[in-house]
Amino acid sequence: MIAVATASQKGGVGKTTVCINLAHALARRGWNTLVVDTDPQGGIGLSLSRSTRKRRGFYDFLQNGGEARPLILPTRLPELSIMPCGDSASFLSQGAKLDRSPERLRDLLRQLDLLRFDCVLLDTAAGLNGVSEIIVRGSEWVLIPQQAEPLAVRSLPLLLETLARFRADGTRTRVAGILLTMLSSQLDASLKVAREVRAMLPPSLLFQQAIPRDPLFLEASALGLPLSLIRKNPPPSALLFDQIAAELEERIGLPAHKDQTHRHASLLD
Amino acid sequence: MQVSWIDPDEIARLTAQLEGPLQRDEPLPWDLDTLPDISSQFTMDESDSADPPELADAIAAPVPESMEQQGATPAPAIEHIREKLRAIRNSAQDAGLMPIAKTATIERSDSTAIPVSDSPAAGIMPSRTPVRIPPAPQPVTESAAKIPDSHHPSSTPLLPPGSSLTERLQCFIPWVQSVVPCEDILLVDDHGDLLWGGPSRADLALSVVLAAGAGLQSGSDALTRSSVFIRSRLGEQKELSVLPCPTRYGMVTLALLNATGLSNENVTSLREALKLCIDDSAVAPAIKGQA
């Protein structure tokens, strides 16, 4: 199992949208995928169902430990499951004792591994402190959605600096890549940001694909669906996530990891 | 005109740091992969000495000061690891992934059980070379022993606090002699190494190990109960009384040759005193006592 956390200094850059659509794309590609909503706002649950708000979830596990399986909600796609945010208010209002949280997170990931998930996407709150820091430090990879707008991209050095500091003090988390989001081909400033970022960052740190600003995302969230499910014939933006999923697989070594743990027999055997 | 206001040099420096090797190769705490193996625990918290001396060279060597100063209290971190290992072992046993350690079925006179599975897996002195012991003169025959309540032990041995195992055994053995008169006394650890007893008695060590091993593997935890022991006949003239005792370093077996006057009370006292002697020692060096 591979754990991938999202991270960004700024809010509203599309982390939750990326998580939902990327997880759906990974699941459709056959990976047993779980999305864990670690954002206290509960964006994953709110995006997909009106009934998840009162469900137990990630923060209940962080607070009490125990068994992870009952916190996992299946979806209509068998390869895709959700762990909602749970009672974050209770956890955070009690002074948020974070000292046990790294251990609990490791316990959670171990349990998810035993439940045979191939990939776990952890959607985090904005900023790299508190619970989000613990989640990023506890994950093998971090995916950085980066809004293709001038103000948003100016926080990129701070984010990279924070991740470099984590690495300097022994955290093994690696950067899966920076994914440009909300790229607007109509806006010169947005295109300039994309060009500048591509010029500055090595290809190993930047996804080839970028996610355009598309009104269909708004429609998808209104329906509580991933983008590819809002129409019988998925819109082009939805297909981008298939490419991003394929790129992510290669970046984090998902096929190789799966081969190590699960070998298939030959078709003719 | 640049709109991102980002310094390319700064980005290049940061990306180099992110893509470079880890500056500190320290894993996350309590990662299961980093737990020390069980045999290394003893060198970690009891003694930093490189290797225990072999049996043939073993003498009651003075304990290095650093070891003395360390004391026998394990570090909290080690305790934490042990707790985790214990929990993992219990879970594995509950799930049927690990067999539960079994002990001997033997006639007994009290009901206080001390499960063998709670004792550490390693012995006091993991020796580098196996001890070569000639075969016992006759096959060991074990019999359960029900003992009379006749002889009462005087008291517990006077063990110098904070002393090494060598010093404590030097106090313990004469006390055993005073409680239960016998021809010879041997102490054997989990690995079959002699903790006490001259090389001339190495053949008896095999008998002790066989007797204790057979008892412990035959399916009950009775053997480690406080007043139960094994009696092994070695020919017509000799008889070994074998008392396995779980300690925090593993099973340590006390064997008395031709002991007279063993009773429920003094067997209990012997076990308790031996446990006290081993468990509270500052270090656990190899020793060879002169019985």
Domain boundaries, chain B: 55-279
Instruction: Please check the confidence at residue B167 and state whether its pLDDT lies above 70.
Output: yes
Contact list, A205 vs chain B (CB under 8 Å) = 15, 18-19
Instruction: Please check the confidence at residue B261 and state whether its pLDDT lies above 60.
Output: yes
* Neighbour-count burial for A228-254, b at 16+ CB within 10 Å, e otherwise: bbbeeebbebbebbbebbebbbebbeb
The predicted model gives B253-259 an average pLDDT of 88
- Give the pLDDT of residue B98: 65
- Give the pLDDT of residue A29: 93
Sequence-separated (6 or more) residues with CB below 8 Å from residue A55 = A45, A71, A73, A84, A86
- Give the pLDDT of residue B207: 78
B11 sits in which H/E element:
helix B8-19
Residue A134 inside a domain? The answer is: yes
CB pairs under 8 A between A and B: 77
Q: Is A103 on the interface with B (CB under 8 A)?
A: yes
Which residue in chain A has the smallest CA separation from B30? A103
The predicted model gives B87-115 an average pLDDT of 52
Task: Tell me the C-alpha distance between A191 and A184, whole Å.
Answer: 7
Q: How high does pLDDT run on average in chain B?
A: 63
Residue A65 inside a domain? The answer is: yes
Number of separate domains in chain A: 1
Contact list, B18 vs chain A (CB under 8 Å) = 160, 163-164, 167, 174-175, 205
Please work out, in degrees rounded to the nearest 5, the angle formed at the alpha carbon of residue A48 by the alpha carbons of A45 and A49. 75
Residue A71 inside a domain? The answer is: yes
Sequence-separated (6 or more) residues with CB below 8 Å from residue B170 = B60, B289
- Give the pLDDT of residue B227: 61
For an interface test with A, give the residue of B5, B7, B10, B18 to mutate (most A CBs within 10 A).
B18
Domain of residue A138, residue span: 2-145+211-261
Report pLDDT digits (tens) over A221-247.
888 889 889 888 888 888 999 999 999
Of A103, A164, A199, the CB nearest to B14: A164
Better-scored residue on pLDDT, A81 or B219: A81
Q: Is A193 on the interface with B (CB under 8 A)?
A: yes
Instruction: Please check the confidence at residue B140 and state whether its pLDDT lies above 50.
Output: no
- Give the pLDDT of residue B1: 76
Residue A267 inside a domain? The answer is: no
- Give the pLDDT of residue B285: 42
Of B3, B6, B27, the CB nearest to A157: B6
Which residue in chain A has the smallest CA separation from B26? A170
A68: domain CATH number?
3.40.50.300
- Nearest of A79, A1, A24 to residue A239 by alpha carbon: A24
Q: How confident is the model at residue B161 (pLDDT cuts 50, 70, 90)?
A: confident
Q: Is A115 on the interface with B (CB under 8 A)?
A: no
Q: How confident is the model at residue B210 (pLDDT cuts 50, 70, 90)?
A: confident
Report pLDDT digits (tens) over B25-78.
554 444 444 444 443 333 333 333 334 333 333 333 333 333 334 444 555 566
Residue B231, strand partner residues: B143, B241
Task: Tell me the C-alpha distance between B200 and B209, whole Å.
Answer: 16
Dihedral class, residue B250 (left if φ above 0, else alpha if ψ from -120 to 50, else beta): left
Contact list, B4 vs chain A (CB under 8 Å) = 150, 153-154, 156, 192-193, 196-197
Instruction: Please check the confidence at residue B111 and state whether its pLDDT lies above 50.
Output: no
With a pLDDT cut of 90, the percent of chain B lying above it is 0
Do the Cβ atoms of B76 and B31 come closer than 8 Å? Answer: no
Do the Cβ atoms of B6 and A200 come closer than 8 Å? Answer: yes
Rank A168-172, B134-138, B233-237 by mean pLDDT and report only the highest. A168-172
Q: Is A157 on the interface with B (CB under 8 A)?
A: yes
Rank A96-100, A212-216, B199-203, B235-239 by mean pLDDT and report only the highest. A212-216
- Give the pLDDT of residue B77: 61
Q: Is A154 on the interface with B (CB under 8 A)?
A: yes
Give the residue ranges of chain A where pLDDT is below 70: 95-96, 259-269
ipTM of the shown complex: 0.79
